[in-house]
């Protein structure tokens, strides 16, 4: 199985980027081809054999990854699966890509694999990095309904069948959009605790656009993918959860601004999932109302 890796960077973490690349190059088995996308910034020096693409502007996380996908041919067709890795992450074990190959080879309907993210200092995994509701045991692998975009592997047949990441999202929920489309097409997603990416613990709210993007893209996600009768339940639950979490007044203002923007702006093509996919999500423990 031919593997490629897509890494996007803003050019501000050259040391971490080089360490990540080296960890990919150290993997057992056949070499993994690497493409680094400079998202509106120069990539800098990389080892021989690593390809780079420098974009004149920041296209956001999904837009940058989509450029990396196409660097491997249409929908990544030059390889069988693509790793998506955050530029400040690192693969601490040398057998990760062989585990990926084995997982895809053993399960023909497995389309996406989500890795376990651990803090390099403490070894702990944040609950939000376990992509299921029952997240108390990060060492338990399971079928899931979404994945972690910067610590994952996607079979390129999935991308060819359901399309790439939604570039307009820029940041937040783009993985769930792809995951729902993949599940609707019959693919499955696994969270694998034995596939590890080291990544420093950081709050997602460190991004200035976090609250607005999270709310806007939540609305877009529902409008694009859910049956019409489910949309108000899904978004209503998320409004209540946001209020229960009691964000600061400025964060709440940004969140509701993004929520309104999600209704007022185009979300891209609408392709509501089948009711059997709603049932599949429910059986997997994450009905599409939360």
Q: What is the pTM of this model?
A: 0.96
Exposed/middle/buried for residue 266 (C-beta within 10 Å: 0-12, 13-18, 19+): exposed
CA 29, CA 238: separation in Å to the nearest integer?
44
pLDDT at 17: 98
Residue with tokens 């693919």: 187
3-state secondary structure of 18: helix
Burial class of 39 by CB neighbour count within 10 A (0 to 12, 13 to 18, 19+): buried
Residues 6 or more apart whose CB falls under 8 angstroms from that of 63 comprise 39, 165, 167, 170
Distance, CA of 37 to CA of 29 (rounded, Å): 24
Domain map (residue ranges) of the chain: 3-198, 208-284
Residue 287, judged by CB atoms within 10 A of its CB (0-12, 13-18, 19+), counts as: middle
Under DSSP, is residue 248 helix (H, G, I), strand (E, B) or coil? coil
DSSP character string of 199-245? -----GGGSTTHHHHHHHHHHHHHHHHS-TTTHHHHHHHHHHHHHHT
Could you please state the CATH topology (level 3) that the domain comprising 3-198 is classified under: Spore Coat Polysaccharide Biosynthesis Protein SpsA; Chain A (3.90.550)
Here the tokens at position 92 are 């601490």
Are 35 and 16 a contacting pair, CB within 8 Å?
Answer: no
pLDDT at residue number 87? 97
- How does DSSP classify residue 24? H
Residue 194's closest CA among 111, 121, 91, 83?
91
DSSP string, 71-98: TTSGGGTTSSEEEEEETT-B--STTHHH
Torsion of CA 192, 194, 195, 200, to 10 degrees: 100
Please report the DSSP string for 169-193 in residue order.
Answer: G-SSSHHHHHHHHHHHTT-EEEEEE
- Give residue 290's pLDDT: 80
- Residues in the chain with pLDDT < 70? 204-208
């Amino acid at each position: 199985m031919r593997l490629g890796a897509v890494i996007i960077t803003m050019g501000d973490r050259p040391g971490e980027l080089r360490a990540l690349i080296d960890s990919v190059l150290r993997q057992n088995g056949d070499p993994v081809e690497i493409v680094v996308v400079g998202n509106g910034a120069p990539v800098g020096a990389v080892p021989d054999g690593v390809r780079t693409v420098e974009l004149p502007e920041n296209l956001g996380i999904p837009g940058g990854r989509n450029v990396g996908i196409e660097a491997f041919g249409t929908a990544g067709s030059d390889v069988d699966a693509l790793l998506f890795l955050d530029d400040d992450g690192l693969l601490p074990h040398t057998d990760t890509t062989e585990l990926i190959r084995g997982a895809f080879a053993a399960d023909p309907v497995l389309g996406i694999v989500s890795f376990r993210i651990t803090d390099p200092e403490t070894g702990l995994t944040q609950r939000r990095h376990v992509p299921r509701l029952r997240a108390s045991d990060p060492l338990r692998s399971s079928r899931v309904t979404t994945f972690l975009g910067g610590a994952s592997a996607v079979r390129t047949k999935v991308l060819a069948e359901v399309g790439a990441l939604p570039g307009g999202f820029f940041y937040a929920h783009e993985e769930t959009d792809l995951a729902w489309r993949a599940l609707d097409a019959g693919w499955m997603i696994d969270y694998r605790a034995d596939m590890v990416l080291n990544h420093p613990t950081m709050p997602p709210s460190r991004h200035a656009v976090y609250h607005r993007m999270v709310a806007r893209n939540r609305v877009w996600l529902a409008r694009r993918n859910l049956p019409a009768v489910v949309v108000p339940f899904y978004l209503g639950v998320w409004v209540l959860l946001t209020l229960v979490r009691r964000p600061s007044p400025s964060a709440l203002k940004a969140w509701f601004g993004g929520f309104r923007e999600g209704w007022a702006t185009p979300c891209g093509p609408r392709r509501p999932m089948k009711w059997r996919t709603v049932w599949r999500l429910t059986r997997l423990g994450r009905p599409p109302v939360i």
